[in-house]
Structures are given as structure tokens and as C-alpha cells.
Structure 1
Amino acid sequence: MKVVTTHKNPDFDGFAAAYAYKKLNPDFEIVISGKIQQNLEEFLRLFEFKYLNESEWKNKIEKLVIVDNSLLSRVGKTILEMSKDAEILVYDHHPDIKNVDNRLEINSFNVGAITTYFVKKIMKRNIVLNEREATLFAIAIYEDTGNFLYNTTSPLDFEVAKFLIENGANIDIIHEFTTLELNAEQKNLLRILQENLESFVIQDYELTISKAEIEKFIGGLNVITTKLWDFTNDDTLIVVVRMGKKTYIVGRTKNPDVRIKKLMEFFDGTGHERAASATLVNVSVDEVIYKIKEKFPECVTPSLRAKDIMSYPVRTILANESIKRAYEIMQITGHGGLPVVEKNKLIGIVTRKAVDKAMNHNLEDRPVKSIMNTKLITVEIDTSVQKIREIMLENDIGRVPVLDKNNILVGIITRSDLLRATNSERRARFVLKKEDTEDVKDLMFERLPKRLINLLRLLGEYGEELNMPVYVVGGFVRDLLLGIENFDVDIVVEGDGLEYAKYVAKQLEATMVSYEKFLTASIFFKDGYRIDIATARTEYYERPAELPLVDISTIKKDLYRRDFTINAMAIKLNLGNFGVLYDFFGSRDDLNKGIIRVLHKLSFIEDPTRIIRAVRFEQRFGFNIEKSTLELLERTLEEGYLEKVTGQRVRQELEKILEEKKPLDAIKRLANLKILNHIFAKTYYTKVMEEKLKRLFAGFQELEKIYGQINKFYCVLRILLEFYDEQTLKEVVKKYGIPKKFADDLKVTEKKVGFVKEMVEKRVKFSELYKILGKPVSETAAHIVAYLDREDRKYLFDYLRRVFNTKLEKVSGNMVIKKYNLKASPLIGKIMNELFCKKLDNPEIDEIEELDKLVAKYFGGVK
């Protein structure tokens, strides 16, 4: 008999790899041992996958395949007993596997999940997968790569995940099972661990340990540890929990110097370098913690320093040398930047981008110091690579000079040096500094109504009562600092935002509406006022242009996910820190300078609608999009990311622009940046179109008086899509969710708008205009308004008011038939229409007198 198995207490990667192996080798049986991890157990309850528990297996095993595990000690006892004489084959992906048993033939692959390896083989064999199988494999890959953020993630993991999603893997289910919610018992254990946190510094490295002892087994300790780790944001966290006779150890670290896997090997455990675990029997918690602290120094490998990765000797340029000379040096050396030296001192850095721009403007003879960046950020030779990474990410720079103890330039570190040293980029850990905070309490009291101040204080007090930090964030903070009235309050809570919202609603006797999927809620007061509450969160995107998934995080990470620096500030509301502004990203400085800046390089790729939003904020406040942000915007646009966004999301951004005070300025800017052409491929912004839009916006106020509420988006769209060919127009209508009737009406109006314009200019009678125009819908009226000057618009508005207010008060079709003893016929309708036209031209006419004339005209002497 042939069996494929994995480690005891299997997770998604172990089970999925075993299932994939059986898919490739149908003559094998899947046998698992131990208690299945919680999220996998929930998944298997919902979806049917055939496998056997170890207790059900009674046969001798001739060939045994072990996946996601290379230690026999982690295989079930029954399986081992039944495979004493078996050929044993191992497939694993954990690094540095050592073969400690000659019986094992070990195959190890450099992938984030061993499932990836087997699915790749499935792809090569063209084996068909159903939706549930594709979803199982995808969850395994997402979970074991940490949503592709772990350093073990390989390009093959991305390739296979793409294949699985294209073949039916359900994103919603993947999200559900990779972000498992804790049950009541798990939440209680998490609370105990939060209370028992203790931090140590061992050989200059921070180590946080938490412990707990409970009587019964509670599954999902890995998930609980991850949640706790997110909460504490510690470099290295070890959780030690005794459940009955067994003591479980789970470790996590962000520090590349710390090897968690090696630490767990002292307890016969295993895992990855930065995430590993172990299980012991009849060993006390305190004994385990003592040994962790004792062995921790042996598991630390000091990281590389600046001196280890820097490029040297450094090619420099003198401050008074020409830009042309800098250009020549860069051409020869391939350098992207040069340190600028004057009197043997480093005074700045000049980049290739600055040099290229200067050359394009024929400034090659100017001194290089005229275009250098004087904002010098340097490191010392003993600065760690981790610290250098933080400096480069937080300051958005591509190179850092290295100085020795005498402040002499000895080297330079570029992004390439950093990448070579670390194999991949990491997100820098967020650290709060004094310069990141400012007291704006007095400003709040000065600019906010007393009622709102009192509400904000209460919201802070409720946070204190629940032991949760509470912040007001986003546009409210931005506009407070700008002195703009904005009472739309968005609250972010570090903790359970839904629990906090429920508590607030109860205390203030308000109504709460929750959106559990997004960890948010809205509070509605009796007078209609509303505040929105969210859990501090980090967003990560499955694919560019898609809506993000969310998970619990800290306030800085929550702010980091936002669109622009000016919207990435928070004010704390808790009693001890009420009115403290948190500004981690130089947001206040950007606000003062009047610039729109993204928070990171992938911002537009992750959410391309930010391209449109950047223009909206730029035009609203009279700001400028910062140069590097503009370059990122243009690059993202050229690479076609905006086209990947759903039409509905693009439409929402355009509708918001039309509600701004100067929408035409924003549309013009969209056109100048070629954004408009990426939204509507065959729209060419010209001076003629601009004049039409000016007239249209000038007429909106009167149109709203006549029609009540109008759809400005449809009105503007009439001009933007004018003279489109029918096929392209159909595609636009479909993408942006526009009624088919819109396209039909547009084409009809295109044909007659010139004739109507001529009639208006000649001031023809209203009755003549009515024969062509009738009672137009608001979009058609707006379309015509775009062709008329001020006086002509006034005439059209008079016509529209007249046509919608004119009614035949004494005459109806039935009345005509009865009074003149006529039979129903089209002539009756013609009489009614002519009578209406007469009243359009002269509201004071005698309806009965004019009716008599018309009846006589069409029916002779009938009375």
C-alpha cells in the first residue's frame, strides 16, 4: 500500500500538498495524524475532500511519501509503525534541511509553500482542477507565504497562485480562511497573553515573551500568536502556553538577525527562519522560558553593516564642475547619482534624473551644485542594514553616503547594494519619534464647535474605559489644520473597532450599523449626525487595481495605507493625550508647502483610482502634485493600470470631481495629464470642448432650478462622448454602468443640436422650438446649453420653464370629444398639440375660443 502524509496537526500547506500529490499519483492514500489546525478543520467541514485518519489505517505501508515535513518525529506513530520497511520519500520547502535518518530520501525546494511545487507539476500535466481544489491549493500558498510577504516567497509561488485564481480559486474564501476570526476561547487566551507580556534586551536584541497555562487544549495558537504579534508590533515574540500535559511554543520575528527556527530546534521543533514552533510534554512554562533566554544568544547572527555592503571607492564630483561633466561621468560609470564635494566636504548629491532634465533644458554649462539635492541623509560605517533600509524607505531616497568616525566619505549604498545584501526589500518597522507629534488641542478649541469638542472628548473617554487608543483621522484632521470647516468625523481604534462602536452607541443612545467584513461601523445620532468608526488596519492587495483586504494593525500602519500624506494624520482623543497630532510622514510639512504626495512607490499601482483623486485634491486646495509623485502617476498611467479598475470605481471618482467647486479645472488637469484619455479612449480635449464645458457648468444652477436634481455625470458625459462611433460608445456605456437609453439620446441630440442652436439664436417662437425639442430630459437640455452663449442660454431656460409650466386647464381630449360630439381620432391629438403650442407662445389665450377655431379648421362647422 502507498501512503502520502504530512506532519502531525496538519495545516493547509501540509494537507494541500498531500492532496496535490494524490492528484498526481491516484494510487496513493492520504493519511493524517493529530488534530487538524482550526482554519483547515473549518474548511474541510465545508468542502468534501477524501482522506483517512491515522486511527483508520490498519495496513502495512510499502511506500511512504511525507510532505511539508522532514522529521519522522513529527509523523504519526501508527504511520511509522506500519512503514518500518517502507521506502520513504520526503518533499519539503523549509531551508537548511538536514537528513538525520538514512531511510529518508529528501527533496527540498526553494518555494514559499510545498503545495506550489506539486501544483506546478499539475500545471505541466494539464490536469483539470475544480473550484474547491484550486481554492484549497491557493489558501495553502497564501497562508505559507504570509500573503506573499515572507522572505521565503519565490516567483514560482506567484506564478502558481495566478494559475489557481484563473482556474477558479475563490478570492472571498481565500480571504475568509487566511484571516480566521478568533472564537471566544481563543480571544480569552489572547487576552491572557496580552496581560502576561514581558520584554527583555539580550545582547542588544529585543525579545518579548508571553506565557499562559490553561487546562484544556485550544487550537489555533499560531493564529493567536500572529494576532498578538500584530498588536504588540515587537521585533521578536515568543509565546509559551501549557495546555494540560503539553507545552506549546510559537515564535515570530521581523529581525533578520534572529533565527527562530534554530531556537525551536533546541526544543525539537522546526519551521521557517522567522516563524517556527515546538511541542513538549510534561515541561513547565517557566523551565521553557528560562531555556529560551539561555539559548537566544546562540540564535542571533549579527546583521550586515554599512561597511559590509557599501560600494567604494566613491566616485564624486566637485561642486563647481559642470552638469555636462556629471552627465559624462554617469554615462561612463552607469551611476544613478554622484556625491558633490566642496573643500573636501560632502555638501550634496546630484541624481541622474536631475542631470537629464538639466541637459534637456540646455543647462549643461551650469555648475552641478545648482541642481544638487542638499538634504543630506548619511549613515555611519557601523549602521545596520536594517536601519539603512528604514532610512531609505522613510526618506524615499535611492542612495545613502557612508561616513567614517571622522565624517569622511568612505562609501555609498544604493538600492542595488541593499537588494543584493537582503535578497528582497522589507518594510521598515514603524517607530514613533518625538518630532512625529504635536499638540493641536488649542487649535481644536479655537476652530471646532463646543458640541463637537465635547463629543470628541467622550469618544476618547470611552476608549479609556475599554483600554483602546482612539484617534480622529483623515480629512477632518487635514481640514482642521487648513482652517476649513469639516465636521465629518472618522474614528480609528487600535483594538476591536466593532466592540468600541457598540459601546459608543450604547452610551450615547445612538444607532450602530456595522460592516463586519471591513471591521467598520457607523454611528447615527437622533438628529441625523453620523460618525464612522474603523479598526486600525493594514490593507494588502491581492492584485493591482482590486479592492484591498484588511487586517488588524496599528495606527501608523493604518495611516500608511492611505492615499496621500495630507490625509495620513491622526489626532489622539484619549484623556491623557487629547489633542496630540500624530504625523509620521511629514504630512504637516506637505500641507504647508501645498503638495500632494503619495506615501509609497506602489500607491498608484495598488489603487489606480488615486490617480484621479490626486487631481481632485490638487485642484480643490490649489496645491501641486509633488514631482516624484507625478512621475509615479504618469508611469502607472502609461502601464495601463487605470484601465484595470472597474468602471464603477472610476465613475465614483469622476462624480466626486463634479461636486467640487471648480470641476472644470479638474477635468482640464485630467486632460493635460492624459488621464482623461485613459478613462475615455477616444475623448480628445480641445479648446472647443473646453468652451462647451464652461457653458455647461455655467448653466447647471438654472438647470437644477428647472429640473430639480440632475445627474451631472451624465450631463458632462454627453460632451465628453460626443461624436463617438457606436461600437466604442457601447463599450463605454457597458463599462461605466450607463443606461442604453443614454447612448440613444446622445446620438439623437448630436444630429439636431446645431439646428436647435440656430433656432434659439433666431429667437423663434416657443411653439416652433417645441416641435423640434419637445420637453427634453435634463441631459439633452444640458447638451444644448453647452452650445449656447449667455443670452441664448437665458432664452432656452425661459423656454424650458414655459414648456414645463404650461398646462391646458380647461381643455382635455375627452372634453373635446364630448363637447363637439366627435369620435376619437389622431386629429384630436393634433388639435390638443396645436392648442398647447398656442398657449406656449401666449399663456393668456382663451383656451375655449382657440379650441373653437381649431375644431372649425379641422371639422368644419361641427358644434
Structure 2
Amino acid sequence: MEVVTTHINADFDAMASMIAAKKLYPDAVLVFPGSQERTLREFFINSTMYIYDFKRLRDVDLTRIHRLILVDTRQISRIGRFEEIIHRPDVEIHIYDHHPDTSEDIKGQVSVVKPVGATVTILTQLLQERGIELNAEEATILSLGIYEDTGSFTFNSTTPEDFEAAAYLRRFGADLNVISDLVTQELTAEQVGILNELILSARTYDIQGIEVCIATVSVDKYVGDFALLVHKLKDIHNLDVVFALGRMEDRIYLVARSRIAEVDVGQITAHFGGGGHTTAASATIRDLTLNQAEDRLLEILKSCITPFPMAETLMSSPVTFVEADATITEAEQIMVRYNINSMPVMEKGVIVGLITRQVLEKAIFHKLSEHAVRELMSSDFMTVSPQATLLEIQTCLVEHQQRILPVLEDGKVVGVITRRDLLNFLVRDHSNKPQTLGEALNPAQWPKRKSINSVVMEQLPHEIVKVLRDMGRLADQFHFKIYAIGGFVRDLLLRRPNLDIDIVVEGDGIEFAKAFAERRGIRARCHKKFNTAVLIFSEKLKVDVASARFEYYQYPAALPIVEFSSLKMDLYRRDFTINTLALALNPDDFGQLIDFFGGQRDLKEKTIRVLHNLSFVEDPTRIMRAIRFEQRFNFRIGKQTANLIKNAVRMGLIQKLGGRRFFHEIESILREENPVPALRRMDEYGVLSLLSSDMRFDARMEELFDRIRNVISWYRLSFLDEPLEGFWVYFLGLLSGLREKDLENVSDRLVLSETRRERLIWTYRQVEPLLRGFFQLPEQRPSDIYRTLQPFRPEELLFMMARTEWEAVRRAISHYFHRYRNVCTELKGRDLKAIGVPPGPIYRVILDELLDARLNGAVRSRQDEWAYLKSLHPELFKDVPEESRAASAASEAV
């Protein structure tokens, strides 16, 4: 059986979506999961809806359902008894919905979710695409859903697609008279009374500077169209935000409406198990009194409503500045070093002017390099306080055309706001696509904060969460701000296990680490040169702690020079946007995700992007990291970032890298679970040929790497407790086929250690002759295989297994690993000494002979070894003193 259903308390959009879905699934049965709104029930009774043969839920055998089509919802808590079959593996789920994502959304094999005004709009588009005809009655019903859910196209959630869908349905004869009669109904006497109570009970609260109206009403029986009454209340008082709580019978109905972006009513009603859109939402509350529900609502509003930003939330600090007596050349060097275009000019700790890069460049062009900055600075400028509003900031930066806006507190510069800071706030992403003012001021679009507390609690072990909370509490005592940052936060959002935790402190990182270690009774390893520390909790858990810092590079591919800075500047020095996310740990902000550079967006779009165009110039190792992350996460490198990689390779920047750094990045790629896709990309970008002009990652090399991957997996499954440097097997494969001279050049380029260099050359000298010589012999004894393979390390033998095409070779190496390599004799040198054999090289000869006999099955016990030795070397026993014979006999007895 196929069933089409929707949410409980179904409205016109839900019913219309069910009718539309029936056209797409002709064999499906239509079933409401629960009650319907009063208006819908009246329409259902007074129309020809019986022709669609809606079934009652009690007449449906849930065990027979093999496909469930959900429309206008995907929240498991809103589908009634159908929740019982959602997790059955034999039930296929198809979803059509227009509501925002929630934490309890059902996952379907087919899922069509679009942010339009009504779900029936989505289904109408599908009907149009498939050329499915409608009659006038069907078109009218579908139009009802669109008109109701868009408020007759007056709600802010209405999209162009809703207008287009309504126009399409009108062509099929949708009756606007019927729609008008149903959508705009006269209020009953009961409804008028409830509306009057809502008006009298309405109270306005100032929450974070935003006015929110809350109204309550209590009646003994259910009265329909409560949402309509709330809408009228909003219009009568011209309210921006209204929440209405209505107790009817044994439950409370919450209806919410919002005209402003700062209040997302869909997010707020979700706390009560409800849902909806940012502008319109509802919930049904049980087990709370009306007063308790109102108190709970106020608590949620205080935590969810985010105010307009002030200067202190937009500014960057600490401030990079130049002294008034500094030369133009010195000022220009500071701007290049910190990659800024404008900065304050200071004198004795007081701001006296502003200077821009354009002024400095023109001054240098006019040969004024040695003049003082004070001679060319702008001394007429505006400043703001940390509490300045967005309007004040815009006035200074836009209307007064000031490039940088100093933020002063008690006469001291505590931060600066640039035009870029303002644009990053007003524009959703770096594409510079304009938005409406409502969209621009939506806190959800700020590159700032959002709570991911639920993700933290879900993904991290309880012990780790406790450690992070303890760190936050201690940081509060020091008046520090503290954050978890980087890959740890990225993988948290990707739901990938990662306990490699990096902590950044806006303060003294070493002081904090020492204090935390003392409290916890653990060890802290400090590095004063970089003001970093490592907290060692156990062998498996170590946490890196650092002061927030900024890096700059004196020349391309140089090692960075580090200076202390703020969180924002610390994150700006990182490689890719997805690694710039931070998690606040201080108690008041714990679980807040901080995103200055669009990292969340790029995670969602599965894109690798650098933060600025000189990223690969400053650090070419980021090229290999971009490729590694792209393949590890199945992301894609953004178009601009890809062009920058190509340009960096063309400019020869990787050749300027130190060999050890180059090798470290290659090693990191080869340590990935499957390095093949990354190596393929390295070859596409021309990175591999920088190691050797003859190196290519072609189909033949890819086949070799697949075999290497297989033999590594085989070895690790066979010998679970034995360590293996898997990356070295891949590295041997990567260099296979190069001439010895090229191998030496690669070793020099990567500055391999002398041990690794010698081992690399030795391996290649031995492997090919061995494969062509020894293994081509008609027969090899176990002792021959042992003696031949024993000088090789496991990594080299695995390379040999992958390199050869002969099954006999692989079988011989497998036997060596499993049967031969751990074989040893029971007789030792002390036994030879006991029978009077003088110590010397003869010991090695004798024991090797015994070992060969063991390997070849000639001896199996200690007694066999004595007999074999006596038969092989009788001369050793003829002059043995009687007491030595006795000792030997005793030894045999033992």
C-alpha cells in the first residue's frame, strides 16, 4: 500500500498538497494523520471532496504500507501514528515540504524541499514539468493552499514561484470566487470574543531592544481559526512580533507571527515541538499551564532574539597603528605586513590621524619616502564608541567616505571598523550579491554567532565536554576569552570524530595552561618562544593551547613571523575558510559558533576556499592541503582558489619551499585512507612533476596504488598489533619507475634524512633484481625465502608484493610473514658454550644451520636440534669433557 499523508491539524496547504501528490502517485491512498482545522473541515463536508476517497486512519493497516508520501511536513512529531512505521527498513519515504530544517526532520529516499510560500507550489511545479492535466475543481483546491499559506500573497515568505504556480492553476480554471469566500471568512461571535480577550491581554516586552507582544486567552472548548485571530491582532495593532497562547480544552495552542528578521518564530516554536517559517509558525503544548507556557516562552525569547550589532561586535582588535613620527616607508611596510589599507596614526597613545595605503603609495611615487607620516595623515576624522549603532557606523564609513572608523573608549582606541567589516555584515557572502535590507539585517546571516550546543553534546564524549566547560570557567576568572578552533570545530559540524583539540586564548596562553594544569593535576609542556603549551591529559588526549596570534611572511614561502593578536586576526592567518570556525567556551557563550569568514557556508556548499589571494604565495604548502581536504571530505576546490593554485604552480612557488615542509605535506597526503584521488589532483595541477619531471600519476601508477592499498589492508588485518608506516609503502610506489639519479635528486629536494635516503636507494637496487632473479627460480626452500627476505622491512616487502605481477612472489612473501620470520632455534649460544665450543664466528654458522633446518622442517624440537648438530658437526663432540657431556645431558633432560 502507498499512503499520502500530512501533519496533524491539517490546513488548506496540507490538504491541497495531498490532492496534488495523488496526481503524482495515482495508486496512493489519502489519509489524514489526525484532526483538521475547522475551515478545512467545513470545506471538506460542503464540497465534493468525497470523490478523492480519503480514508480514516483507523481503517488503514499500517503493516501493509511500503511507501509513505509526506507532504507539508517532515517532522516526526507532527505525523501522528505514522511515526510508528518511519524507521521500518521496508518502508520507503518520499517527502515534499517547504518548511525550514529542524533537528527532528525525517530523512527520505526522495526529498524535495524548497523555501517557497506553500508546499503545493512545489507539487504544482512537478505537475507542470510532467504535463499532468488538472480539472477546474483540482486547480481551485491547489490554489486554496497557495492563497492560505501566503496570506493571499502578502506574507514575506511569498516567492516568485508561488505567483507562477497560482497563474498556472488559474489557466486550468481555478475559481477565485470560491477561494475568496474560504480565505476571507466572517468571524463568529465566539471568535470575536476571543479576539477581544487577546487584545485586552496583550503585553509588550522589550527584549534585546526589540518589542515583542505576547497575548493569552483561555476557553473551555476548542474554537477554530485561532491563527486567523492572531493575524487580525497583528494587523489591528500593527505589531512586528506577536506570540499568542490559547488554552482550549486540555492543551495550549501557540501561534506566532513576525515581520522582522531578528525574530525567527519558526526557531522559537521548535522549542515547543512545533515548527513553521521565520515569519509564521505554531505549536501545540501539553503538560504546561498557561502561566508556565508564557514563562517558558519568555525564557526562550531572551536566548533566541539577537539585537542589532553595535560597534563592539563589528570592530577588529587589537589595532595595528603607526606612530606619527614614523617615515612613509615604515608605514607602508606595516600595511604590507598586516595586509591592511588604512590605519590610525598615534602619538603618545592618543589617536591623531588616519593614513591610507593610496596616500603612502603616491607619496613614495613622489619620492617622499623619508618624510614623517604626520605630514600626510588625515587629521579630520570621525570616531565612535563601542556602543555605537549600525546607523552611526554606516554614516561615518559611507556618508563621510571614511575608510576606517576608530572605536574609542575613555579616549583610547580599542578597535577599528573597516568598510569590509561593514560589507561582510550587510552582504550574505563574498559574492557581493545585493540583498534587501531585511535580509541584510537578519542575524542568521551575520558571519558571527550561532549556538551549536546540541551538536557539541551529541558528538563529544561527556569527559571532553567537561574539560571544555572547565576551561571556559577558568578563563572567566582570568578575564580571558577562550575558544576551540580549526579542524576540531570543522569536524564537529561535519559529524566526523576528531579529538585533536586546539584552544586559542585572548590573553596569555602559557599562564592559562599552567593554571589549568595545576588545577587538574596534569602536565603542561610550554613553549615560551611561541607562547603555546600542550596540556597532557593522557597518552591519547593532548590539548594544544595558544595565545591568539597573527602571522606575516617576509617573502614568499618563508616561515611565518608571529605576533600576538585577537581571535579574528588569529583565524585570518589560517589556510581555508572551513578551518576558521571557532567555538566559544566561556560560560555565558558556551557552544556559540563564531564564523567571521563564511566557513559555515563553505561547509554547506562543500567548497574549499582560501581567505585571500596571496594565500598560496605566502605558504605554498596550502596547495597540497587544499587538495588533501578536497578529497578527504569529498568537497571541491572553489573556482577562484583553483585559479590561484594554478598561478602559484606556474610562478614556481613550490620550488621555493623547504624540502622538509614539502615532504611533510606529501607524507600527510599518503597517510590519507585513500591517497589516490589526491595524487591524481596533484598531477592535474602539475605539483608532482615538481618532484621529478618524469613523475606521472597515470593509469599504471593508479593500478599500483590500488594494489598497495590492498596489501596494506591485508597486513593490518593479519597483524593487528604490529606497527606499519603505510605512507612509506605509498612513497616507494610513488617513486617507482624513476632512475637512480632521479631518486637521489628527489631525496635531495625533500631533504630526506640520511637513513631514509640510504634505505630508499638500497630498496630500489634490491627489488628489481630480486623479482627478476631469485623468484624466477623453479623452486625455493623456506630457508632460501627467509634468507632472501629477512633484510627487508615490512614496508619494503609490501611494496614488493604490490609491485610484482607474479602470484608466486606474493605467496612467498605471505609465507615469510606468517610462517618464517618469527621462527627461531631452541638451542642458543650458551648451549654451545656448555658443551665446550669456544666462542667465536662458529656460533653464528652453527645457529644459522640449525635455523635453516628448522625452517625446512628437518628439525622440530630441541632434541632434534642436538641430534642434527651432532650429525652435522661430530668433531664438536669428540673432545668434549665428561663434565660438559653431563651438562649437555642435563640440558637435554630439562
Q: What per-residue deviation string (whole Å, max 9, x for no partner) do you get for residues 484-540 of structure 1?
A: 122222111222222332332333333222222222122223676321111112110
Contact 2:556 2:619 in 1 (8 A): yes
Aligned counterparts of 1:743 and 1:297: Cα–Cα separation in 2: 67
Of 726, 731, 747, 1:717 maps to: 731
Q: Which residue of 2 aligns with 1:803?
A: 820
SS where residue 600 of structure 1 aligns?
coil
Closer, same or farther: CA 621–402 of 1 in aligned 2, 3 Å:
closer
Contact 1:537 1:557 in 2 (8 A): yes
Contact 2:428 2:445 in 1 (8 A): no
Could you list the runs of 5+ residues in structure 2 that have no partner in the other structure? 1-309, 320-329, 361-370, 384-396, 405-417, 436-442, 881-894
Q: Which residue of 2 aligns with 1:785?
A: 801
Deviation at 1:616, TM superposition (A): 1.5
* 1:736 and 2:751 matched: yes
Aligned counterparts of 1:450 and 1:614: Cα–Cα separation in 2: 32
Aligned counterparts of 2:637 and 2:318: Cα–Cα separation in 1: 42
Q: What per-residue deviation string (whole Å, max 9, x for no partner) do you get for residues 432-487 of structure 1?
A: 98343212122222222222222222222222222222111101110111111222
Contact 2:447 2:597 in 1 (8 A): no
Aligned counterparts of 1:400 and 1:612: Cα–Cα separation in 2: 29
Aligned counterparts of 1:521 and 1:807: Cα–Cα separation in 2: 47
* 1:754 and 2:768 matched: no
Contact 2:484 2:502 in 1 (8 A): yes
Deviation at 1:565, TM superposition (A): 0.9
Q: Which residue of 2 aligns with 1:166?
A: none
Of 818, 841, 845, 2:856 maps to: 841
Q: What per-residue deviation string (whole Å, max 9, x for no partner) do you get for residues 362-412 of structure 1?
A: xxxxxxxxxxxxxxxxx9999777777778999999998999xxxxxxxxx
Deviation at 1:688, TM superposition (A): 2.8
SS where residue 534 of structure 1 aligns?
strand
- CA-atom RMSD in angstroms: 5.0
Of 458, 469, 474, 1:462 maps to: 474
Aligned counterparts of 1:647 and 1:396: Cα–Cα separation in 2: 41
Deviation at 1:561, TM superposition (A): 0.9
Contact 2:316 2:568 in 1 (8 A): no
SS where residue 660 of structure 1 aligns?
coil
Closer, same or farther: CA 275–733 of 1 in aligned 2, 3 Å:
farther
Contact 1:490 1:533 in 2 (8 A): yes
**1:136-147 map, 5 Å:** none
Of 544, 553, 564, 1:552 maps to: 564
* 1:850 and 2:868 matched: yes
Aligned counterparts of 2:466 and 2:694: Cα–Cα separation in 1: 53
Q: Which residue of 1 aligns with 2:589?
A: 577
Contact 1:206 1:235 in 2 (8 A): no
Aligned counterparts of 2:653 and 2:485: Cα–Cα separation in 1: 28
AA partner of residue 794 (structure 2)? S
SS where residue 451 of structure 1 aligns?
helix
Aligned counterparts of 1:731 and 1:713: Cα–Cα separation in 2: 20
Aligned counterparts of 2:493 and 2:538: Cα–Cα separation in 1: 29
Aligned counterparts of 2:382 and 2:578: Cα–Cα separation in 1: 42
* 1:482 and 2:494 matched: yes
Aligned counterparts of 2:634 and 2:819: Cα–Cα separation in 1: 41
Aligned counterparts of 1:831 and 1:510: Cα–Cα separation in 2: 54
SS where residue 485 of structure 1 aligns?
coil
Closer, same or farther: CA 388–788 of 1 in aligned 2, 3 Å:
same
Closer, same or farther: CA 743–804 of 1 in aligned 2, 3 Å:
same
Aligned counterparts of 1:521 and 1:529: Cα–Cα separation in 2: 14
Of 762, 785, 788, 1:769 maps to: 785
Contact 2:670 2:731 in 1 (8 A): no
Closer, same or farther: CA 759–637 of 1 in aligned 2, 3 Å:
same
Deviation at 1:240, TM superposition (A): 5.1
Which structure has the greater CA radius of gyration? 2
What TM-score does the superposition give when structure 1 sets the normalisation length?
A: 0.50
Of 677, 691, 699, 1:665 maps to: 677
Contact 2:578 2:608 in 1 (8 A): yes
AA partner of residue 721 (structure 1)? L
Aligned counterparts of 2:819 and 2:713: Cα–Cα separation in 1: 17
Aligned counterparts of 2:555 and 2:878: Cα–Cα separation in 1: 79
SS where residue 786 of structure 1 aligns?
helix
Closer, same or farther: CA 458–756 of 1 in aligned 2, 3 Å:
farther
**1:126-137 map, 5 Å:** none
Contact 1:671 1:685 in 2 (8 A): yes
Aligned counterparts of 1:629 and 1:545: Cα–Cα separation in 2: 17
Q: Which residue of 2 aligns with 1:161?
A: none
Closer, same or farther: CA 584–807 of 1 in aligned 2, 3 Å:
same
Residues 642-651 or 523-532, more deviating? 523-532
**1:232-631 map, 5 Å:** 236=344, 238=346, 251=352, 253=354, 271-273=372-374, 297=380, 434-525=446-537, 529-631=541-643
AA partner of residue 763 (structure 2)? L
Aligned counterparts of 1:518 and 1:629: Cα–Cα separation in 2: 30
* 1:708 and 2:713 matched: no
Q: What per-residue deviation string (whole Å, max 9, x for no partner) do you get for residues 623-674 of structure 1?
A: 1111211111122112211121111112222222233222333333323333
Could you list the runs of 5+ residues in structure 1 that have no partner in the other structure? 1-198, 210-221, 242-248, 260-269, 277-294, 301-378, 404-430
Aligned counterparts of 1:607 and 1:848: Cα–Cα separation in 2: 66
Contact 1:496 1:535 in 2 (8 A): yes
SS where residue 492 of structure 1 aligns?
strand
Closer, same or farther: CA 731–296 of 1 in aligned 2, 3 Å:
closer
Closer, same or farther: CA 483–557 of 1 in aligned 2, 3 Å:
same
Contact 2:660 2:751 in 1 (8 A): yes
**1:78-227 map, 5 Å:** none
Contact 1:775 1:803 in 2 (8 A): no
Aligned counterparts of 1:509 and 1:823: Cα–Cα separation in 2: 54
Closer, same or farther: CA 736–449 of 1 in aligned 2, 3 Å:
same
AA partner of residue 503 (structure 1)? A
Aligned counterparts of 2:445 and 2:353: Cα–Cα separation in 1: 25
